[in-house]
């Protein structure tokens, strides 16, 4: 069998040129995986459940026998699928702890002429690393401001200028409001979100400044790790200010073309906060294509919520940055000049 056991460090180096095969069940894969891996289960969810029950009731040997009984008739299918997905016959593989399932996969495909690199410790080793990485102290510089000031656009403007950024909303597939999930793909599990975030952090030197948007603890169904969230609250906050007209226009460009029924559903989710009359007015405005009117209605709630959150949670350094009427290049230049002042202040303390 052409198999080599590799460390997580070797795994990261080799995955640049060799595809990854996740030998776990489809449910495990959805819950959390190494981004870029292809799922080819040795045992599917139902089979894994059966084998697990036998292991608990009858022991390891009985579970192994049942596993081979279940998967043996499908060996040829697994080989064919692997040949179709990995035509060069060279793969990195892993299971939960780098044990029996990936070992069987390596044996099976090795017998079929594959060159196999199997991760020691499996997905658990990778997940331990991503868990620690997400919670590690970093030099975050937080962009805040009321809804509609264009914080995400500013982040990407900074990225084009060569800055390191983390776009939490893009990783979470959610824009962080009642409207934030409209038109977005399904959200990842919290575990997979952390894997995706860690992958971004792997590429950024640990001492670098990282621009990040001020977020609530929850982004849709994704919940930020407490250690990360506390860092966002304690790091310097650049509070972006723009005119109400600019904010409404920005929201209009981002949301007004979305499906009417989904916009109405989002407004209805805010009814307890908006009140019945304002909710009805906003819904009617959506139906009549009066975009500025419904946006102005919901901004009353979001502005109030923002101000409350700011006073309650952000006791860190806050710098107001008025970017009203400024084009993106000028906005980025202004933010970068403030970054230098904050860095200088940090070094001098």
Beta bridge partners of 21: 38, 93
Residue spans of beta strands (DSSP E) within the chain: 3-6, 20-22, 38-39, 90-94, 115-119, 139-145, 164-166, 209-213, 218-219, 222-223, 237-241, 318-322
Tokens of 345: 């202040």
Q: List the alpha helices (DSSP H) in 237-327.
A: 244-255, 260-269, 271-274, 276-287, 291-313
Query: Among 130, 150, 169, where does a domain finish?
Result: 130
In terms of domains, do 78 and 165 share one?
no
Task: Assign residue 68 the CATH number of its domain.
Answer: 3.40.250.10
In terms of domains, do 124 and 147 share one?
no
Is there a catalytic annotation at residue 331? no
State the pLDDT at residue 73: 85
State the pLDDT at residue 314: 64
41 and 51 Cβ atoms separated by less than 8 Å? no
Which residues in the chain come in under a pLDDT of 50?
Answer: none
From the candidates 37, 43, 71, 95, which is the catalytic residue? 95
Domain encompassing residue 340: 137-348
In terms of domains, do 109 and 150 share one?
no
In terms of domains, do 158 and 96 share one?
no
Per DSSP, 167 falls in state -
In terms of domains, do 224 and 247 share one?
yes
In terms of domains, do 163 and 123 share one?
no
pTM for the full model?
A: 0.93
In terms of domains, do 123 and 235 share one?
no
Sheet containing 209-213: order of strands: 164-166, 209-213, 139-145, 237-241, 318-322
Query: Among 100, 130, 160, where does a domain finish?
Result: 130
In terms of domains, do 152 and 263 share one?
yes
In terms of domains, do 189 and 326 share one?
yes
219 and 212 Cβ atoms separated by less than 8 Å? no
Query: Among 91, 107, 130, where does a domain finish?
Result: 130
In terms of domains, do 95 and 143 share one?
no
Task: Assign residue 262 the CATH number of its domain.
Answer: 3.40.50
Number of domains, the chain: 2
In terms of domains, do 109 and 247 share one?
no
In terms of domains, do 147 and 122 share one?
no
């Amino acid at each position: 069998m052409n198999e080599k056991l590799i460390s997580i460090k070797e795994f990261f180096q080799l995955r640049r040129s060799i595809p990854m095969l996740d030998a776990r069940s489809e449910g495990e894969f959805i819950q959390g995986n190494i981004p870029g891996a292809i799922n080819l289960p040795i045992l599917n969810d139902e089979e894994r459940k059966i084998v697990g029950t036998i292991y608990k009731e009858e022991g390891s040997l009985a579970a192994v026998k049942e596993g081979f009984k279940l998967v043996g008739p499908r060996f040829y299918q697994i080989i064919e699928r692997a040949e179709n997905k990995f035509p060069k016959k060279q793969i990195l593989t892993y299971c939960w702890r780098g044990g029996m399932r990936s070992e069987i996969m390596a044996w099976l495909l090795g017998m079929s002429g594959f060159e196999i690199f199997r991760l020691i410790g499996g997905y658990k080793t990778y997940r331990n690393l991503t868990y620690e990485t997400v919670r590690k102290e970093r030099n975050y510089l937080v962009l805040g401001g009321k809804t509609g000031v264009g914080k995400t656009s500013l982040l990407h403007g900074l990225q084009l200028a060569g800055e390191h950024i983390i776009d939490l909303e893009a990783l979470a597939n959610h824009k962080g409001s009642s409207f934030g999930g409209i038109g977005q793909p399904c959200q990842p599990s919290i575990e997979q979100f952390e894997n995706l975030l860690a992958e971004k952090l792997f590429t950024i030197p640990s001492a670098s400044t990282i621009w990040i948007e001020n977020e609530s603890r929850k982004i849709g169904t994704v919940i930020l790790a407490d250690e990360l969230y506390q860092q966002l609250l304690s790091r310097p906050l650049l509070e972006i200010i723009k005119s109400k007209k600019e904010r409404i226009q920005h929201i209009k460009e981002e949301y007004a073309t979305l499906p009417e029924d989904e916009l109405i559903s989002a407004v209805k989710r805010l009814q307890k906060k908006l009140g019945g009359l304002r909710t009805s007015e906003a819904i009617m405005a959506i139906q009549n294509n009066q975009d500025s009117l419904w946006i102005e209605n919901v901004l009353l709630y979001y502005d109030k919520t923002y101000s409350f959150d700011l006073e309650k949670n952000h006791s860190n350094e806050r710098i107001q940055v008025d970017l009203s009427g400024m084009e993106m290049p000028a906005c980025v230049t202004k933010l970068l000049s403030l970054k230098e002042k904050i860095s200088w202040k940090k070094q001098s303390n």
